[in-house]
Amino acid sequence: MQYGFSDRMAYMNGTATREIFKLLSRPEIISFAGGLPATEALPTAEVREIAYEVLSKEDSYKLLQYGATEGYVPLLKACKEYIGEFGVDVSGPADMLIISGGQQGIDLMCKSFLNAGDTVLVEDPTYLAALQIFNSYQAKAVGVKACKDGIDVSDLEEKIKKHKPKFLYVVPTFSNPTGKTYTGGNRKDIAAVTAKYGIPVLEDDPYSRLRFSGKKIDSLYSYAYEKNVVYITSFSKVLSPGLRVGVAAGDPEVIRKMAICKQGTDLHTCLLSQAVTAEYLARGLLAPAVQNSLPLYRERKQAMAEAIKKYMPEEFEHTDPDGGLFVWGVFKGCGIDTEKLLPHAVKRNAAYIQGSVFYADGSGRNTLRLNYSNATPGKIDEGMKALGIFFKETIAKEKK
Ligand SMILES: Cc1ncc(COP(=O)(O)O)c(C=O)c1O
C-alpha cells in the first residue's frame, strides 16, 4: 500500500533514542535515561479510595459523561490556588485551561501560534519532546545560549531581532534536561526583553514542587510586565503521570485559542482524572505527599553526585540541582561523543541519554543527561560505576 502521509511526517522521524529505549526494557540494564517520578511516590491507596468515593456519589454519572473543554469546575477552582503558590495570579477560570498533561499544553500553544516555517526560541539545551512537537508543526527551533543564571538575555534579544520568533519556550525551574534553575534576576530580564518585543513566552513548570534544597522561587509568569507569559504545570511529577492532568494559565485571549484547539484534540481531559485530582487537592493530600517524597529524591540525587565523584573521569563536569529529576553532564577536553557511545554503554548494562537530542541544532555531542529518580542508591552506584569505567577506558584509548 502506498500511503500519502502528510508532509509533517517527514519532520517526525523516530529518534535513535526510541530504538535504545527498546533495549532498556532488559531487566539487567540500569537506566538513567528515563524521566519518571519515583514509583514509591505514587499514592496508589489514596487514589483508589478517592476514585471509589467520587464514583459513589449520587451524581457520579456526570463524570462518565462529556464535560466542558475548559475543565472540571472544582479542579479549576483548586488550580487557581495551587498555581498561585508560585506567583501565578489569575483572575478566574477564563485565564485557565485544564490540559491532559504539560505535553498537551506545549502542543496546544504550538497549534495556536505556529505556521510551517515559523521560529520558536528555546534554551539550548531544552526538553526533547518540545523540540519534537515544534518539528511536528514544521516550525524551526532556534537555541538561545544558556548561562549560569538562566539564559543569556543579550543572545535572546539578538535572536528575537534576527528570527522574529512566534514565542520563547523555557523550563526555568529544575529544567529538563539540565536540572538548572533561572535566578530571579534572569526571569526579570527575560520578562522585560520579551515584553519589549511583544514575544509570548511559554513557561513549562513540571518540577518546581520537587525542591529538596535551596529557596523557593516564583514563576517567570510572576515577573511578567505584560500578559505575555503562558504558564503550564502538571500533576505528573507530584501526583501521577498516568492521570494525565495539568493546567495552563495566561492571557484569556490565548487560553481561549488553546481551548478551541483542545476541542479538536481530545474535547476535554478525562473527567474521572480531573475529579480525582480535584479531590486529592481538596483533601490537602498533595503538599504532605510531596514533602514526604523529597527525602527520597534528595537521597537519590546525592547518591548520583557521590557516584559521579567516585567513578566518572575528571573530564566530566556536571550540574548539582536543588530539585527535579536530572543531572546534566559535559565532557571537557576530550573527544567523547555520547551519541556514538550509547549503544556500547548499554552493552555494559547502564544507560544515559545523549545530550545532542536536547539541542535545537543537534550539537552538544559531548553532553549527556542522567535521571536519578527511578533507581535506588545502590543501583545508582552500580550503574554509575559501569558508566565511569566505560568512559575512563574510552578516554584512555583515545589518548593512546
Ligand atoms: C519539561 C517537561 N515538560 C513537559 C513534560 C510532559 O509531562 P506531562 O505531559 O506528563 O505533564 C515533561 C515530562 O517529562 C517535562 O520534563
Instruction: Give me the domains of the chain, ranges plus CATH numbers.
Output: 14-42+288-395 (3.90.1150.10), 44-284 (3.40.640.10)
Across 12-26, 34-48, 77-91, 360-374, least confident range:
12-26
Which residue lies with its CA nearest to atom 14 of ligand 1?
A: 35
* pLDDT at position 82: 97
pLDDT tens digit sequence for 233-269: 999 999 999 999 999 999 999 999 999 999 999 999 9
Q: What distance in angstroms lies between residue 206's CA and the mean position of ligand 1's atoms?
A: 6
> Given pLDDT bands bounded at 50, 70 and 90, which one contains residue 10?
confident
Percent of the chain with pLDDT over 90: 88
Helix boundaries (H) for the chain: 16-24, 44-54, 73-84, 102-113, 128-136, 153-163, 184-197, 252-266, 271-282, 286-311, 338-347, 377-399
**Predicted structure pTM score:** 0.96
Residue 398 has pLDDT above 90, yes or no: no
Residues with CB under 6 A from ligand 1: 35, 101-103, 127, 171, 176, 204, 206, 234, 236, 241, 246
Answer for the pair 180, 328: CB distance below 8 angstroms, yes or no. yes
Atom of ligand 1 lying closest to residue 233 CA: 11
- State yes or no: cis peptide before 125, omega within 30 of 0: yes
* pLDDT at position 109: 98
Q: What distance in angstroms lies between residue 101's CA and the mean position of ligand 1's atoms?
A: 7
How many Å apart are CA 134 and CA 136, to the nearest integer?
5
Nine-digit cell at 75?
A: 479542579
- State yes or no: cis peptide before 165, omega within 30 of 0: no
Atom of ligand 1 lying closest to residue 35 CA: 14
Sign of CA dihedral 49, 50, 53, 54: negative
* pLDDT at position 17: 58
Residue 93 has pLDDT above 90, yes or no: no
Residue 36 has pLDDT above 60, yes or no: yes
Q: What is the mean pLDDT of the chain?
A: 94
pLDDT tens digit sequence for 18-28: 666 676 778 88
> Given pLDDT bands bounded at 50, 70 and 90, which one contains residue 7?
confident
pLDDT tens digit sequence for 225-241: 889 999 999 999 999 99
Point out which residues pair with 145 in neighbouring strands. none
* pLDDT at position 16: 53
Residue 173 has pLDDT above 60, yes or no: yes
How many Å apart are CA 39 and CA 280, to the nearest integer?
18
